[in-house]
Amino acid sequence: MPSVSRRSSNTERLSAMRRYAGRFALVVASTLLGLVILEVCVRVLMPQNPEFYDSSKIIRLSSTVPRLPENIPNGRNESYVGVPIRINSLGLRGPEISIPKEPHTVRIVGVGDSITFGYGIAQENTFLSLLQTKLNQSSDQGQRYEVVNAGVEGTGLDYYFHFLKTEAPKLQPDIVLVNLCLNDIAVYSETGGKSERPVGKSSDRLVRRTSEFLLKHSQLYIALYMRLKSLLYGLGLLDINKIQGYNFLPLEPSSPRQEKAWESSLQLLSKIDELARRDHYRLVIVVFPMEMQLSADALRLYREQFHVRISAEAQSGVPQKRLHEFGDERGIPVVDLLPAFRTADSGKLYLRNKVISLDPIHPSQLGNRIAADEIYRSLECDESRSSNNVARPGRHASCS
């Protein structure tokens, strides 16, 4: 009798397992069918642009060591983050330029990351393009200014150093603008090569690759992408503090890791200064603030809604002061955009569009215009000029 009872019990368990498996399969099939129907509806009723987030046509990893992101020469994407992107044959955003440069041309080269590149901003509205227009409108007859955009998304001081060492000399710059966002303050390798970026868990890499695949193949996912990310940040299911590109370390409370990042970053800036002295061009550091530095309301928004782990003293401007001290020690002009951004703050200085509701890093078209105005003032405010008639940049504070 016991054996019969056990057989009966096993049979009941197997039957229950089959029922649960059948129900699970039905739920999965229903969910997949629903997603397919939604995908078709999106494609028919509100079609999305598969190229909107696709950077693969314009950016790649270099094939040589150090393997850093670089623009693809002659790359094109007609609607990347809503604007057309065109890379010239030298891997620079914008029109072709002459090599060697034309006579009576003052060439300014801007290096930086996605801020300099102009993420979500049309070429003619980037701060470098606006700066070129302002300089040429006020230049002496016979002298022409050419401002070259050498920005590359997803890069840092390691790339800036590498580019200035290997590629900049052939551009013959008279002035180089190193455009820093505070997320450039990070730990880099001692050789100035590839940044020591966190590799991340295998599950994180799987999620990232799945997301990249869906962005290329699912219009439903494209339509929901930014809203989904914001929801996951808000619920704490995604940690924005660990997302590559969102480095808030300089605004976090003091720590050994933060100090190591400053030491590493200033060492690379010193090497960049040595290149400038070797190649005889003027070096200017431009510092872009993050939105949470502009006001108490902005700070509270990012801390409460997105759980950004930053110090209550984030608005003190300590990172900018530290860069000013570095510039003073080495005689490098530093253009700090924080005061001008605070003065003009109306909640519209950072990128917003139909899919991006909040962005603490990338300036809007208005933010780009303010940056161009401040850099222009800095380049013009020094009354003296060098022997080749190139404007000598000076700190804006000294011109007040």
Distance CA 181, CA 113 (A): 8
Angle between helices 318-330 and 256-279 (to 10 degrees): 40
**pLDDT the model gives residue 110:** 98
Q: From its phi and psi, is residue 127 left (phi > 0), alpha (psi between -120 and 50) or beta? A: alpha
Q: What is the pLDDT of residue 193?
A: 47
* pLDDT tens sequence for the chain (400 residues): 555 565 566 677 777 777 788 888 888 888 888 888 888 887 888 888 888 888 999 999 998 888 899 999 999 999 999 899 999 999 999 999 999 999 999 999 999 999 999 999 999 999 999 999 999 998 877 889 999 999 999 999 999 999 999 999 999 999 999 999 999 999 997 654 444 444 444 555 676 788 778 888 888 887 777 677 666 666 665 556 555 556 788 999 899 999 999 999 999 999 999 999 999 999 999 999 999 999 999 988 888 887 788 887 788 899 999 999 999 999 999 999 999 999 999 889 999 876 667 789 999 999 999 999 999 999 987 534 444 445 445 444 445 4
CA distance 101 to 260: 40
Give me the pLDDT at residue 246, please: 64
Q: Which of 264, 370, 269, 258 is nearest to 319 (CA)?
A: 258
pLDDT in the model for residue 89: 97
| Contact in structure between 106 and 143 (CB atoms under 8 Å) | yes
pLDDT confidence of residue 354: 67
Distance CA(185)–CA(269), nearest Å, equals: 10
Supply the pLDDT for residue 377: 94
Residue 347 is predicted with a pLDDT of 87
- How far is Cα 364 from Cα 214, in angstroms, rounded to an integer? 27
Tokens matching residue 211 = 């997301």
Q: Quick one: pLDDT at residue 397?
A: 43
Task: Return the pLDDT at 244.
Answer: 55
Give the per-residue pLDDT at 105: 95
Backbone angles phi, psi at 142, to 5 degrees: 90, -10
Predicted local confidence at residue 231, as pLDDT: 63
CA distance 179 to 158: 13
Contact in structure between 332 and 285 (CB atoms under 8 Å): yes
CB of 69 within 8 A of CB of 152?
Answer: yes
pLDDT at 387: 40
Task: Note the pLDDT of residue 382.
Answer: 53
Following DSSP, what letter does each residue of 37-74 receive, concatenated? Answer: HHHHHHHHHS---TTTT--TTTEEE-SSSS--EEEPTT
Residue 140 has what pLDDT? 78
